[in-house]
Amino acid sequence: MSPALLQVRELSVIARADQRDITLVDRLSFDLDQGEILGLVGESGSGKTLACRGLMRLLPSPNLRLEGQAVRLAGNDLLRLDEAGMRRMRGRELGMIFQNPSSHLDPLMRIGAQIAEGIRLHQGASRREARAEAIEVLRQVGIPDPKTRVDSYPHEFSGGMRQRAMIAVALGCNPNVLIADEPTTALDVTVQAQILRLLLELRDRRGLSMILISHDLGVVAQTCDSIAVMYAGRLCEHGAKQALLSQPRHPYSAGLLACHPATRRHAGLMNTIAGQPPLLDALPAGCRFEPRCPQATPDCRAQLPELRVIAPGHRLACHTPLLAGGLS
């Protein structure tokens, strides 16, 4: 078998606060194959976005640092590149659709100029060539009348069109791996479906590999090939979509599935996971999910479970795995 397109090994994001280190993302490891869409799921604060910003080496604070064994993409270890080398990788090999396009599109720059900027930087294109490519990318993401819209400002676009423009900026240099951070948040249901359909079309047309960050298991079920579940900064389960949705082995994965509206047992009554995630500066000694877990044993309280392979393509970090469950 050929090696995975993206190989992440033991990636950690560590914060320095009050003269001590706090691990926010703890030894994350996974592979992403060519054309695969990986869904990264978990509650808010589980480390999904921070891990992916770590892959991009775009951490939001100077008090954060990366550690890890390796992050390999296109023959490079992203953790070992200097800043100039990493700038060459961003956009050309690795792109990111940020969660809120209104915050990440420059309100003072025309949409076409924002797309063309990366094309000129990474491909050495002339202004005319970059503009023509920007128009083509806008056409590919479904912006109507792209020859006119290329000169529009972000405020002249609707929410759904701004999201498409954000995708166009990320795709401008034709990266091999695209990270999509909650790409359908704050969009109405019809526009959500359009954006998800667009991502699938782009995967099929360009052979893109994607990491889709989402808290919506319905979105993940429609879109992804595999799912990685994070809790309190750690990966607790990772496997093929169908296996994980039909038979989750970690109690937290099963709890997330039970909270989905499709699984509610009584009309108008939503399931919940009791309790709250732990504070990352006051973690329990054993499993991080143990205080909320109905399956917890003394072993769970005493020892942190390590991620292990339980079936081909399926990894789990749990002392007391479930035997059955999930969406019917």
Domain count, the chain: 1
Q: What is the mean pLDDT of residues 320-328?
A: 64
What angle (nearest 5°) sits at the alpha carbon of residue 183, between those of residues 81 and 162?
A: 100
Q: What is the pLDDT of residue 264?
A: 56
The predicted-structure confidence for 214-231, as pLDDT tens digits, reads as follows 988 888 998 999 999 999
Pair 224, 192: CB distance under 8 Å: no
pLDDT band at 124 (very low <50, low <70, confident <90, very high): confident
Pair 90, 78: CB distance under 8 Å: no
Q: Is residue 299 part of a domain?
A: yes
Q: What is the pLDDT of residue 327?
A: 39
Report the DSSP pairing between strands 64-67 and 37-41: unpaired
The predicted-structure confidence for 72-98, as pLDDT tens digits, reads as follows 998 999 999 999 999 999 988 999 998
The pLDDT of residue 5 is above 50: yes
Q: Is residue 258 part of a domain?
A: yes
CB atoms inside a 10 Å sphere around CB 79:
20
The predicted-structure confidence for 135-180, as pLDDT tens digits, reads as follows 999 999 999 999 999 999 999 999 889 999 999 999 888 899 999 9
Instruction: List Cβ neighbours of 18 (8 Å cut-off, separation of 6 or more).
Output: none
The pLDDT of residue 199 is above 70: yes
Q: Which of 179, 198, 2 is nearest to 91 (CA)?
A: 179
Q: What is the pLDDT of residue 121?
A: 86
Query: Which residues are registered as beta bridge partners of 311?
Result: 314
Calpha distance 110→156 (Å, rounded):
10
Q: Is residue 234 part of a domain?
A: no
Phi-psi region of 12 (alpha: psi -120 to 50; beta: other; left: phi over 0): beta
The pLDDT of residue 298 is above 90: yes
Stated as kind and residue range, the H or E segment containing 246 is helix 241-246
How many helical (H) and strand (E) elements, i.e. helices and strands, does the chain have?
Answer: 12, 13
Q: What is the pLDDT of residue 326?
A: 41
Q: Is residue 285 part of a domain?
A: yes
Radius of gyration of the chain from its Cα atoms, rounded to whole angstroms: 20
DSSP assignments along 121-165, one per residue:
HHH---HHHHHHHHHHHHHHTT-SSHHHHTT--GGGS-HHHHHHH
Q: Is residue 78 part of a domain?
A: no
Q: Is residue 135 part of a domain?
A: no
Q: What is the pLDDT of residue 1?
A: 65
For residue 273, the enclosing domain spans: 247-328
The predicted-structure confidence for 10-29, as pLDDT tens digits, reads as follows 999 999 988 899 999 999 99
Q: What is the per-residue burial (b if ≥16 Cβ within 10 Å, else e) of 34-65? A: eebbbbbbbbebbbbbbbbbbbbbebeeeebe
Calpha distance 218→60 (Å, rounded):
29
Q: Is 126 exposed, middle or buried (0-12, 13-18, 19+ CB in 10 A)?
A: exposed
Q: What is the pLDDT of residue 262?
A: 65
Q: Is residue 291 part of a domain?
A: yes
Q: What is the pLDDT of residue 325?
A: 43
The chain-wide mean pLDDT, for the chain, equals 91
Q: Is residue 194 part of a domain?
A: no
Per-residue DSSP letter, 291: G
Work out the percent of the chain whose per-residue pLDDT is above 70: 95
Calpha distance 203→187 (Å, rounded):
21
Q: Phi first, then psi: what are they for 64, rounded to 5°?
A: -105, 145
Q: What is the mean pLDDT of residues 4-11?
A: 96
Q: What is the mean pLDDT of residues 34-46?
A: 94
- The structure tokens listed for 69 are 């064994």
Q: What is the pLDDT of residue 268?
A: 58
Calpha distance 183→202 (Å, rounded):
14
- The structure tokens listed for 110 are 């025309």
The rounded Cα 118 to chain-centroid distance in angstroms is: 22
Calpha distance 175→206 (Å, rounded):
9
Work out the percent of the chain whose per-residue pLDDT is above 90: 73
The pLDDT of residue 283 is above 90: yes
Q: What is the pLDDT of residue 210?
A: 96
The pLDDT of residue 314 is above 80: yes
The pLDDT of residue 328 is above 50: no
pTM of the model: 0.91
